Amino acid sequence: MKKFNAKKIFAGLSSTALIAASVPAVAAVTVNAAETSANVLYGDANVDGKVSISDAVAILQSIANSNKYGLDEQGSNNADVYQRGDGVTGNDAASIQRYDAQVITELPESWLGGTPSDPSDTDPQTDITYIHLSGSSISVEGDYAEVNGSTVTISHSGTFYVDGTLDDGQINVNVPDETADPETVKIFLNGVNITGKSAPAILITNAENTSINLVDGTVNTISDGDTAYVGADGAASGEAVIEAKDDLTIKGGTENTGVLNLTANTQDGIASNNDIKLTGGTINVTTLNATDETDGIKGKSSVTVKENAIVNVEAEGDGIKASSTADNGYVSIEGGSVTIKAGNDAIQSATAINISGGTVVAGGDRGLTSVTGTNITGGTVIATATDNQIDSTLLKSENQATMLLNCIADSTSKDGTWKKANSISVGNVNASFTKKYAYVLISDASITAGKSYNLTNTGTGAAVTYDNDASDSFTVKNSVTTFENVNPAGKIDGETVTPTPSTDGATLTLSGASITSDAPADAVTVKDGVATITKEGSYTVTGDASDVQIVVDVDSSAYPESVVELNLVNANISNSTTAPIYVKSIGDEVQIVAKASTTNTISDGTSHTETYTDSDGNTNTVEGAIFARDDIKFKGTGSLTVNGNEADAIVCKNDIKIYNGNITVNAVDDGIRGKDSVTVGNDSKSDGSAVDYSTLNLTVKTQQGDGIKSTSTDTATDKSYGLVTINGGTIDINSYADGISAEQDFVMNGGDLNIYTYQGSGFTGSASGGTWYAPGGGRNQPGGMGQDGNSNKVDISAKGIKAVGLYDESGTTYQSAGNLTINGGNITIDSSDDSLHCAGDMAVLGGTLTLSSADDGIHSDNKLTIGQGSA
């Protein structure tokens, strides 16, 4: 679960804590030296079995009004976590805030007169030291940080918060005895700007472990001057702006929004004599010394990138490297995102390069250079080079196949290399190259041996060819397959090659009022402007046609795992009397893919005459511009517009998943309606790496109906029904009625959600007729519009987000469901009705909410939970 932005919570509550700190303690706690956490959960002031920000709130409430909000004996004992033994004060609330924000890692933060085991000693590891930088001077609040001019030296493990600007100075970590003090020195950069003109801006002289933590919501800038540092050996080379003699870890915060911008004008960027681990935050490293060819990130023993780290390196020398042959000397990419532009090797290892997850887009004179082997077992990898291809004898690819492209010379370039604008994509593997190239490596889980693929020049849209333009179908024969004489321009006698279908697909061509197919007759039949797909596979749809239809009708009994992929390549399809795309039957799902750099439109007319008979024998209309009786998924990085001119735009009787693309939905009635569920944004990737939502943009506009809705009242133990889930992306909804309506439950885990309903919060008036609906789907029931004394009512349901709930057959008595949960993300709502409304329980556990309403901002008919406490 994502937490609220820790920095904002800290700021919001700290002022209260400081005021409360002056109030006498409400309870005294006798500290027993034998006391252990076995009978005390330190920090759990409200005694709910966990420690969270709600405990800090409980402490502040008890201090402000002990008669009303007093803590019980156990709560008071749990709450005393700062100078434990002095009673409950506002300082205890502040300690819990720091613990929740991961500034400290254990409670109690400190003890009155010492620790339980040794009352004569203090516990320095539980204290926070604040280091304030101010131009040419430094001030310190706390212990184990000594200032000498413009250098501050940290001499003990612990937590050190750093803020401000240092014009020319250094943070030096020098723990005298790392055997006696083996714990981690934790440096939190809280919006710093440090220049180290004559020595490293951050220097780890001696410490068992040091972590640099990028505080959420901050941008931290570190740079050097124009003079090379002189190292301990007297040589002015091999030094770095951030330099560590021992292990170094760079981390992000809970929200992973901290940024480090490091510019090395003269030295290397980041260097360590041991291991470097990059686990979070955005780390941007630029080195500018072309004469010395300075490196971006180099760890002598190893460099590891994993978890949520976003690493961007632009280096005159090597991008990322590990140099030791005697002590590991490997580079490991386990997750996150790595982008590299290098003058020499993009990634270099004295032993092995191991890539098991995440995304790597790397370009250099040489791409991936290892001595003992390059092992790709997961993730997406695109590596380009100008000088030579990777040594294929050292390349091992497991769980996925790897394509090696050796390109012909570009006749328009002096050195024969191809400009980075000629980036190459394979299916959904699409990334902008970082540098000009002559050799390309592409590896992804979607590429498997035994299949053929079309490659596309993303700059021109042309099909890439190979073998002297003999073919544009790249057949991957082995786990590593090399293709010679690859032509990124895709030219034959000056003409652009039109992509031919791969071995498992075909092309549906739209033209005028007709549709044609080059697929075998047992896969696609065309009659009277209707192309019916009866076999699973990947199909390209291109061209412009009206009054035509694509029907997917694959026998789900014979092919229960079948998938049909419709790849839209500048397709414009419309039909005046039915849905232009109709999913009649499929085993697993139909995927509609807006291909990169293409614009596509699907529109229906103002009447629908086609019908179908469901499993209950009922006759129903084929609805919407896209209608699916089975699961449907939207993805790709191109643009897709869906126009529902008769009523709804996208309708599905099962599940709708919107995972990628720039999608615009316009509808007379409902924009997107999935009976069982609607999910926006994939919640996970198969390789375990973080999902990139940057290319997911969904815009919905309705004239009479809801923006997004799920309508099922079914219940089961193995599946949720009537569910709308937002995991990520940017979603903009402008709806006449409800922005989002979930029949049973709504869940938001992340993303940016903007909703405007009816006339927005500026609506003024009163209900003057018509039928209004209760929050749970029942009519004229308590909790709905017009029942709370507010006369400023619109006579439609125009809520921002609504979780309806299940009612009895008469629709008057609430039964269950109707829950609304927000775990994270940013929500902005401007609604004429309630902004958030549910018939069941509402839990606002994370995220940022900006709510403007002509009625209620937040309205729950049952339990309302904000954070980890109840209101």
**pLDDT tens-digit map of 209-243:** 999 999 999 999 999 999 888 765 555 556 899 99
Structure tokens belonging to residue 18: 């400081």
pLDDT, position 83: 83
89, 144: one domain: no
492, 410: one domain: yes
Residue ranges of alpha helices (H) inside 314-376 are none
Element (H, E) at 60: helix 53-64
pLDDT, position 236: 53
pLDDT, position 231: 65
Single out the residue of 362, 343, 338, 242 nearest to residue 289, CA to CA: 343
pLDDT, position 148: 96
Report yes or no on 842 lying in a domain: no
59, 148: one domain: no
pLDDT, position 450: 82
Domain boundary (278, 294, 310) is at 294
Distance of CA 522 to the CA centre of its chain: 41
pLDDT, position 492: 41
Structure tokens belonging to residue 678: 């609607």
229, 357: one domain: no
Structure tokens belonging to residue 321: 């490297």
pLDDT, position 327: 64
480, 380: one domain: yes
DSSP 431-491: ---SS-BSEEEEEETT--TT-EE-EEETTT-PBPBBTTTTBS-EE--SSEEEEEEEBTT-E
Report yes or no on 63 lying in a domain: yes
Report yes or no on 505 lying in a domain: no
DSSP 695-749: TEEEEEEESSS-SEEE------SS---SEEEE-SSEEEEEESS-SEEESSEEEE-
Domain boundary (276, 294, 312) is at 294
- Count of domains for the chain: 3
CA-to-CA distance for 383 and 540, rounded, in angstroms?
Answer: 28
Chain mean pLDDT for the chain: 86
Domain that holds residue 192: 128-294
361, 495: one domain: yes
Cis peptide bond N-terminal to 116, omega within 30: no
pLDDT, position 5: 36
102, 135: one domain: no
Q: Is residue 278 classed as helix, strand or coil in its secondary structure?
A: strand
- Radius of gyration for the alpha carbons in the chain, expressed in angstroms and rounded: 31
pLDDT, position 828: 97
362, 407: one domain: yes
Domain boundary (251, 269, 294) is at 294
Contact in structure between 837 and 797 (CB atoms under 8 Å): no
365, 496: one domain: yes
174, 199: one domain: yes
Report yes or no on 480 lying in a domain: yes
363, 483: one domain: yes
pLDDT, position 593: 94
- The stretches in the chain having pLDDT less than 50 are 1-38, 114-126, 492-494, 496-504, 766-789, 869-871
- CB count, 10 Å around CB of 208? 15
Structure tokens belonging to residue 283: 């780390």
pLDDT, position 792: 60
139, 113: one domain: no
